[in-house]
Amino acid sequence: MFCAQCEQSNKGGCAVKIGSCGKSADVADMQDVLLRVMLGVSVYASRAAAQGACDAQVDAFTPYAWFTTLTNVNFDADRFTQLIAQALEIRAQAKALAEAAGADLSDLPEPATWNPGMTPSELAAAAPMAAIQRFMDRDGPSIVGLRNLVLYGLKGTAAYSEHARVLGTEEAAVNAEFHRIAAFLATDPTALDALLAESLAVGALNLKVMELLDAANTGRFGHPEPTQVRMSPKAGKCILVSGHDMGDLETILRQTEGKGVNVYTHGELLPANAYPGLKKYPHLAGNYGGAWQDQQKEFDAFPGAIVMTSNCLINPEIKGYANRLFTAGPVGWNGIPHIADHDFTPMIECALAQPGFAADAPDEFVMAGFARNTVMGVAETLLAPGGQLLCRRTHQFPWQPLVRDALHNGLLR
């Protein structure tokens, strides 16, 4: 095991039996194997895309599979065995697509044909071939580091793409660019200039994906509006939705309508309370809890069911809430029930069986919803010659009149 993808690692990478996030060595190794097979998928998909062909299943599985390998998303070794088997099938599907499109498949990099096996022991034996540090002795830390920069950049892009895709928004050109960069990585590139250029290409792709995600969120739920969000729980049965998937949050709100269950967002999902398409549900009761690293204490104190919809999961087994925790989407933890089909009935039944909050806590609110539409909607702006956005009246940066107006209107205190 060697993993250096996040700031939770100390000493520049986790090279131990258990990473700082709780990832075990066998899961880390299987994530490396999965990604190497996924590079092979992108080799075929990019060559097919060059001929104008794409496959919806290949393009749907790709961001999902990459997303599962991010920090704090999926710690379930069994799920990775299944995902690798699925990835091999998807790679065969992408190959058939490229062949049918008449793509040139005469010069294929190794991930396009690599067979890591299917059983846990075969996968463990294959893992060194997929390890991110391989070729360190041959290529040196600068080249390997740049390869990993592209790899981790693609992982981030995949996460945002998946969030947009589950809301029904994707773009063939974005998928094709993802496959093109991943196919480049499949060649174990050694040219510094090319690696630097592709690092920048990942950044440009990510901006495009953020634009898609913004369109997905605002298209489905409307633009966020300045909203008072309750931060103190109300009496009653309760469900806590953590992660970042607003599609799952909406599904849970629909499935709990009329059931007497209050739904709370957790931590980073707080901004969801300001979207018109979500705050219209009266049982979206507010936000509970703060930063993800405090979840063990906060989840332990939450008297209802909890679902992790994307990342930020911490080991639930050392506290007493594992029996009321669920995972969805790319998230997984061995032994924790996974909701794969958007039917949250088991979680709702679990919430109804829990005591819930006995009484209202003292009122506590924060303001949310100051997204770009709100900001630009109240600021009269003009573009200065240097590209800076200025208030048309004051010729100052627009936050100054915005904050003054918000104070005047009682939106800020």
* Chain positions contacting ligand SF4, by CB under 6 A: 3-6, 8-9, 13-14, 19-21, 23, 28, 71
Quick one: 71 or 295, whose CB is closer to ligand SF4?
Answer: 71
Quick one: 24 or 228, whose CB is closer to ligand SF4?
Answer: 24
Closest CA relative to residue 231, chosen from 268, 292, 286: 286
**3-state class (DSSP) for residue 57:** helix
> How many CB atoms lie under 10 A from the CB of residue 373?
15
With vertex at residue 384, the alpha carbon angle to CA 378 and CA 387, rounded to the nearest 5 degrees, is: 100
Q: How many angstroms separate the CA atoms of 249 and 242, rounded?
A: 9
Q: How many angstroms separate the CA atoms of 133 and 225, rounded?
A: 46
User: What does DSSP assign to residue 167?
Assistant: T
- Closest separation in Å from C-beta 14 to ligand SF4: 3
Beta bridge partners of 240: 264, 306
Quick one: 130 or 176, whose CB is closer to ligand SF4?
Answer: 130
- Closest separation in Å from C-beta 71 to ligand SF4: 4
- Closest separation in Å from C-beta 6 to ligand SF4: 3
Q: Return the axis-axis angle of helices 192-221 and 172-185, rounded to nearest 10°.
A: 150
- Closest separation in Å from C-beta 292 to ligand SF4: 13
Quick one: 10 or 106, whose CB is closer to ligand SF4?
Answer: 10
Quick one: 312 or 411, whose CB is closer to ligand SF4?
Answer: 312
Is residue 82 within 8 Å of residue 332, measured between CB atoms?
no
Quick one: 69 or 227, whose CB is closer to ligand SF4?
Answer: 69
Quick one: 71 or 256, whose CB is closer to ligand SF4?
Answer: 71
Give the gyration radius of the chain's Cα atoms.
23
Can you spell out the DSSP letters for 343-400?
Answer: --HHHHHHHHHS--BSSPPPP-EEEE---HHHHHHH--EEE-TTS-EEETTT-S-THH
Segments in 101-131 forming alpha helices (H): 120-130
Quick one: 9 or 161, whose CB is closer to ligand SF4?
Answer: 9
- Closest separation in Å from C-beta 335 to ligand SF4: 20
- Closest separation in Å from C-beta 66 to ligand SF4: 14
Distance of CA 23 to the CA centre of its chain: 17
- Closest separation in Å from C-beta 28 to ligand SF4: 6
Quick one: 95 or 244, whose CB is closer to ligand SF4?
Answer: 244
- Closest separation in Å from C-beta 126 to ligand SF4: 19
Q: How many angstroms separate the CA atoms of 71 and 6, rounded?
A: 7
Quick one: 6 or 375, whose CB is closer to ligand SF4?
Answer: 6
- Closest separation in Å from C-beta 339 to ligand SF4: 24
3-state helix, strand, coil in the chain (%, to 5): 50, 10, 35
- Closest separation in Å from C-beta 149 to ligand SF4: 14
**3-state class (DSSP) for residue 17:** coil
- Closest separation in Å from C-beta 155 to ligand SF4: 10
End-to-end CA distance of the chain: 50
H or E segment and range at residue 265: strand 261-266
Can you spell out the DSSP letters for 156-181?
Answer: HHHHHHHHHHHTT---HHHHHHHHHH
Q: 65 is written with which tokens?
A: 């599979």
Closest CA relative to residue 33, chosen from 91, 94, 105, 98: 91
Which residue has the CB atom at the shortest distance from ligand SF4? 19
Quick one: 3 or 406, whose CB is closer to ligand SF4?
Answer: 3
